[in-house]
Amino acid sequence: METQELTHYKSLVAKLPLLKKEIGKVIVGQQEAIQEVLIALLAGGHCLLEGVPGLAKTLMVKTMADALDMRFKRIQFTPDLMPGDIAGTEILEEDHETGRKFFKFNHGPIFANVVLADEINRTPPKTQAALLEAMQEYKITYGGTDYLLPRPFLIIATQNPIEQAGTYPLPEAQLDRFLLYIKLSYPSEQEELDVLKSTTGTARPELQTVLTDQDIADLQHLTRQVHISDDLISFINKLVRSTRPESSTSSFVKQRCDWGAGPRAGQALVLCAKARSVLHGRFSVIPEDIHTLAYPILRHRIALNFRAEAESITTDDVIRELLK
């Protein structure tokens, strides 16, 4: 890496703590979730946020987009939402000079840098699939024509874990498309007290733009250049393979899991570990990066059997057992 290029990257990395500080002006607490969303952004993947209502999921994503000077769109998923409501549709227009009529593609809300898919489990599989195709291909195909999505491109989907009536849970194969599965917890007593004080008055914090979309693209390029040792890659490979009952040496996994994570999980863990290193101002992955990110990366890629459910075992319990 040339000196000028290295200086540029170091200046961008130095702005990442400022980005977290700007988000912290609006969002009280939830530091772990904010960090994981930023890791997904640096790694170039998408994430699923799960939390009960009122934990500022939507506000968190909107605040991050504002601090990044990136185009933000929110899609409220409902049972009657159609794929065209996400991707866009063709409309009939008329050329006023010639009088000729023609079809023009009208871009949907998916054409943004940061897209919030609010309550994704409220819409049927047909509409969910339209979103997941965009996540994977980074383009929309309509009428035989490809329309490229803007880059960088990040989808953050949210779902409510407590209300299951009238919902369509994402199939396991589609869950695998999400780089991270982030669970939001209730704030601490002090954090909740700070929320009550800061959100019930007239003061509204002003956010400063910290990074541009080009800066994020450069940081994504840097993330892939971060060093990771062969030993750590080997550890990641063993960890992922140990989640599969047929190849695992863990009796805990063999007795409680139907199937485990695929190769995509290993790729995600390597990339996200690199992204966490960048976020902490390092250019080399350490074991802590892997141990911390094993949970949001693997928890939605492991299927438990009836015995595990009867024992109230979660996928986080399985991951914790394997990391021992």
Least confident among 97-101, 115-119, 211-215, 299-303: 97-101
Give mean pLDDT, residues 142-152. 84
On the CB side of 267, how many CA atoms lie within 13 Å of its CA?
A: 9
Q: What is the pLDDT of residue 1?
A: 58
Per-residue pLDDT band at 145 (split at 50, 70, 90): confident
∠ Cα 87 127 159 (to 5°): 110
Q: Which of 162, 160, 151 minimizes the C-alpha distance to 115? A: 151
Higher pLDDT, 198 or 155: 155
pLDDT tens sequence across 25-61: 777 777 888 889 889 989 988 999 888 777 777 788 8
Cα end-to-end span (Å), the chain: 38
Percent of the chain with pLDDT over 90: 19
Distance of alpha carbon 211 from the chain centroid: 19
Q: Tell me the two tokens of residue 146.
A: 């490809």
Phi and psi torsions of 25, nearest 5°: -65, -30
Phi and psi torsions of 303, nearest 5°: -105, 125
pLDDT tens sequence across 261-276: 889 999 999 999 999 9
Cβ atoms 294, 239 nearer than 8 A: yes
Q: What is the pLDDT of residue 127?
A: 84
Q: What is the pLDDT of residue 142?
A: 78
Give mean pLDDT, residues 70-86. 88
Q: What is the pLDDT of residue 166?
A: 66
Asked if pLDDT for residue 298 goes beyond 90, the answer is yes
Q: Tell me the two tokens of residue 179.
A: 């780089």
Q: What is the pLDDT of residue 290?
A: 94
Q: What is the pLDDT of residue 285?
A: 94
Give mean pLDDT, residues 178-207. 80
Q: What is the pLDDT of residue 236?
A: 95
Give mean pLDDT, residues 164-182. 80
Predicted model pTM:
0.87
